[in-house]
Each structure stands twice: as structure tokens, then as C-alpha cells.
Structure 1
Amino acid sequence: MPADSPEFSRPLALGRVGPEGRTEVLEASEAERAALARRFGILGIEALHATLRLSPEPDGAVRVEGRLEAAVTQECVVTLDPVAQQVAEAFALRLLPAGREPADGPDDLDEIPTEDDTADLGEVVAEQLALALDPYPRASGAELPPEAQAEAAGAFAALAALRRKG
């Protein structure tokens, strides 16, 4: 695999969506899951499955409504023990025809530009998984040591004091 190609690649030409739309089901292989785990810096991805409903829009874009499900293992931020987690996320976004710039309004769906009117649905799912991962996984019962709790409380107290001044 070339260095710049995604670990979980499922290219689809936007023209193949058709006027009635289409459904795509993606399942990552063991090698793809291992490569994604390395990319995300987590211990493992035991399963990654997504169902995507693609619908053409009048402006040439394609709306994607999807749901991903994954079983992942991350490191506890306190104990470094493995933490198994289930991820289930629904998402919606738009795939833009080549040459179209994404809108960046706060109420706009995320928009993903395409090259040569081809979208990589696997990379779309991988990015959604990265966003859904718990940034601070904790093993059951894991607590920060008292000195770290005091530091965190002090930092938040300092921020609260600044806010009261404003």
C-alpha cells in the first residue's frame, strides 16, 4: 500500500449513486483494522462495520447518512490498562463534486470535497470513527491520584476566577 493511500479505502464515483440513491455496506478487514488502530494510536479495533445511504442532491452533491459500529480497545488514561469499548454513531455529511469548495457555516453539514468526482467511503467512515473515539478512556474504577485531582481542580478554579472577573 502506498504511503499516502488510506488504510480502509472504498472508492466510489459519485456518478454511480444514481437518481434513486444507493446503500453501501462497508466492513473493515483484520489488516485494515490493525492499520487504523496504529493510525489512531489505540490498542486495537476488533470490528468496524458501517451502513451508508447515499442520495443525490439537486446541486450535484451526494448526501450521506450513515451509521458505524465498532469494537475498539484503548488504553486507560489513568492505569494504561486495556479498555474495551463499543462505538455506535450515526452521522450525516455531503460529498461535493470536484472543484466545489465546502461551506463552513455552523449549521451546515460537514462537506467533503472529492477528487475526480470519486469519494473514498472507507476514509469517510475512518474519520467518523476517529471523531467518535473516547478521548479519555478509563478502566472501571480508575481514578486520578490525589495530587492530579488537586492540580485539575486548581486549574478549573483559576479559570472560574477569570470568568468571574470578566
Structure 2
Amino acid sequence: MTPEFSRPERLDTIGERDRSVTFAATPEERRKLAARFAILSVDLLEAHFTIRRDTSGIVAKGHVTAKVVQACSVTDEPLTATIDEPVALRFVDDFGAVDGEIELSDDALDTVPIDGGAVDLGEAAAETLALALDPFPRGPNAAAALRAAGVISEDEYQPVNAFSGLKAKLEGKG
């Protein structure tokens, strides 16, 4: 199945020197991504990568920027969010060849398997967007709506159990 936002870069076009790749999602691609990620809309999605081949695969580094509208997880009010995420990936041929533990350095890259004769930078950008989304966005009216529904905040929570008032009772008997 072809992803909603596919931008394949053929392996035979990627050399050992850095090459810049910039692209943006079309309105139709943004509509499909919004449906895939269950958000109200993707108003902008752009990606800029620098790609090159090295001894262990294809290295892609860059940024994904987006403007999205999500529904508040409490009130369903639309909330606009701006995404600006760095991306650092290594596409490798034999993803399953690594056994045991791997020592990660500070400059370690997320590893992605190469599928066919290309790396899909569009899908990498879409997955970066998905990971950057707030899973439980809350708008300015969320706290009031929760209070009105009888939901207390973490600060107001008082555990209720057989021992919850014991300390006060013991101190009162002094």
C-alpha cells in the first residue's frame, strides 16, 4: 500500500555527497494524513532533508514543519499547533541483521529498513509528524469542563481508604 504522503528517493540517485531534498504535502495529501492521524486538519506539512550514502546505509537529516488542528481531548474545541521537529534517520538494507545489544552514541540515528529500491522521505516526514502530535491536547476551557463534570484535578485528589484519616485521628487523641 502506498502511503498518503510518499516521496521516494531512488537509491541509485543517492551518492556520498550531501544532497538537499525539500518538499511539501498537497492539499489532498494533507487531507488524507489528517484522516490517518485522526486530527481535524493538516494545514501545512513541509520537509527539508539532507541525504547521502555512507558505509552503513542512507543517512537523512533535516526538519519537518507543520501546522495542524487537533480537537481538545476534553471539549472537542479546535486547537492549532505548530510542529518543528528535527529528523535524523539511517535507512539500512538488512534491518534484521543486528543481533544482541547495540551501544548507542550521542549521534545515533533512528534506523529504518530500506523497502525496495528507494527510501521514502515523505513517509518519514509523516511519521515524524505523527510522533510530534500531542496525544491528549487540552484547550483553555478543558479544566472548567472537567470541573463541571465532577472530575477533580491531581492537586485536589485525596486518597480514600481505611487509613486515610488515621493520622489526623491519632494526632487529635494526643
TM-score category by the smaller chain?
0.7 to 0.9
Residue 136 of structure 1 and its aligned partner are, at CA, apart by 1.4
- Structure 2: 5+ residue runs without aligned partners? 161-174
Task: Kindly indicate whether the alpha-carbon contact (under 8 Å) linking 1:100 and 1:113 is maintained by their aligned counterparts in 2.
Answer: yes
Secondary structure (helix, strand or coil) at the match of 2:152 reads helix
**Structure 1 position 81, deviation (Å):** 0.5
CA displacement 1:25-69 (0-9 Å, x = unmatched)? 01000000000000000000000001001122123x011111011
Larger Rg: 2
For residue 84 of structure 1, the aligned residue among 80, 85, 99 is 80
Amino acid at match of 1:145: L
1:18 alignment partner, one of 11, 15, 18: 15
- Contact 1:45–1:70 under 8 Å retained in 2: yes
Q: In the alignment, which residue of structure 1 is the partner of 2:4?
A: 7
Secondary structure of residue in 1 paired with 2:116: coil
Match of 1:128 in 2: 128
Could you tell me which runs of 5 or more consecutive residues in structure 1 were left unpaired when the two chains were aligned: 159-166
Q: Which whole-Å CA distance do the structure 1 matches of 2:112 and 2:130 have between them?
A: 16
Contact kept? 1:96, 1:102, Cα under 8 Å: no
Matched, 1:140 2:140: yes
Q: 1:116, 1:86 → 2: CA distance? A: 33
* Stretch moving more, 43-52 or 133-142: 133-142
How far apart are the structure 2 equivalents of 1:7 and 1:116?
A: 18
Q: Give 1:109 deviation, angstroms.
A: 2.2
One-letter amino acid matched to 1:96: V
Q: 2-side partners of 1:89 and 1:102: how far apart?
A: 29
Secondary structure of residue in 2 paired with 1:138 = coil
Corresponding residue of 1:41: 38
Q: CA deviation at 1:148?
A: 2.6
Q: Distance in 2 between matches of 1:15 and 1:153?
A: 61
Maintained 8 Å contact 1:69/1:88: yes
Inter-partner Cα distance in structure 2 for 1:153 and 1:112? 45
Question: Which deviates the most, 137-146 or 28-37?
Answer: 137-146
Structure 1 residue ranges (4+ consecutive) displaced by more than 2 angstroms after TM superposition: 99-109, 146-155
Q: How far apart are the structure 1 equivalents of 2:69 and 2:141? A: 17
Superposition RMSD in Å = 2.5
TM-score by length of 2: 0.77
TM, length-normalised to structure 1: 0.81
Match of 1:95 in 2: 91
Would the alpha carbon gap of residues 134 and 5 (structure 1) be closer, same or farther in structure 2, given more than 3 Å must change? same
1:105, distance to aligned residue in structure 2 (A)? 4.0
CA contact (8 A) 1:102 1:111 kept: no
Give 3-state SS (helix, strand or coil) of 2:36's partner.
Answer: helix
